């Protein structure tokens, strides 16, 4: 189930907003498509990211895919636990598998609710 309190992008990232801080990860649907995640290539803390642009890459055994930022802002923190335990992206995509925290500069646009995203991935 996709948590109700998150917003979702068409590129299968989720965003949790608390004040002006956004936490970003990939959705359960995305991790299941990727298969075993073995490496996450993060941006530098302090880097500026733009909504819809790449903020890093995720390598699974079978493929590499880009992570698109659902929101514009500055990278505050990356999930260093994934350097040693990248499989958390698969096992707990909405929890321990979070990727980055961003100081949001512009409110996100074009994101979907949980229900909309569920419908989007069903179709």
Partner 1 sequence: MPVEYSGIAKEHTAVRTAAGLFDVSHMGEFEVTGPTALHLIQFITSNDASHLADGQVQYSVLTTPQGTAIDDLLVYRHAPDRFTLVVNAANIESDLEWIRSHNTVGSARVEDVSDQTGLLALQGPRAAGILQGLTDVVLSDLPSYHFRLGHVLGVETLVSRTGYTGEDGFELYFPASESEKLWTEILKAGEATGLLPAGLGARNTLRLEAKLLLYGNDLDRTTSLLEAGLGWIVKFDKGEFIGRDALARQKAGGVKRKLSGFVMLGRDIARDHYPVYVNGAEVSHVTSGSPSITLKQNIGLTYLPVEHAAPGTKLEVSVRGRACEAEVVRTPFYKRKDS
Local structure of 81: helix, strand or coil? helix
81 binds partner 1 (CB under 8 A): no
64 binds partner 1 (CB under 8 A): yes
Residues near partner 1 (CB under 8 A), total: 11
CB of 73 to partner 1, least distance (A): 23
Whether the Cβ atoms of residue 97 and residue 25 lie closer than 8 Å to each other = yes
Query: Starting from the edge strand earliest in sequence, which strands make up the sheet with 37-41, in order?
Result: 37-41, 54-60, 64-68
What binding mask, one character per residue, do residues 28-57 give for partner 1 by CB under 8 A, x or -? Answer: -------xx-xx-----------------x
Whether the Cβ atoms of residue 54 and residue 68 lie closer than 8 Å to each other = yes
61 binds partner 1 (CB under 8 A): yes
Candidates 11, 50, 59, 77: give the one binding partner 1 (CB under 8 A): 59
Instruction: Tokens for 53, please give them.
Output: 């642009």
Calpha distance 61→117 (Å, rounded):
26
Site residues for partner 1 per CB under 8 A: 35-36, 38-39, 57, 59, 61-64, 90
């Amino acid at each position: 189930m996709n948590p109700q309190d998150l917003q979702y992008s068409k590129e299968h990232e989720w965003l949790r907003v608390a004040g002006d801080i956004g936490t970003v990860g990939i959705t359960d649907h995305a991790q299941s498509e990727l298969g075993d995640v073995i490496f996450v290539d993060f941006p530098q803390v302090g880097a500026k990211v733009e909504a819809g642009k790449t903020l890093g890459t995720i390598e699974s055994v079978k493929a590499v895919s880009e992570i698109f930022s659902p929101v514009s802002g500055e990278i505050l923190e990356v999930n260093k636990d994934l350097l040693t335990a990248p499989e958390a992206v698969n096992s707990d995509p909405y929890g321990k598998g979070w990727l980055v925290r961003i100081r949001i500069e512009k409110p996100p646009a074009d994101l979907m609710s949980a229900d909309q995203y569920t419908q989007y991935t069903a179709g």
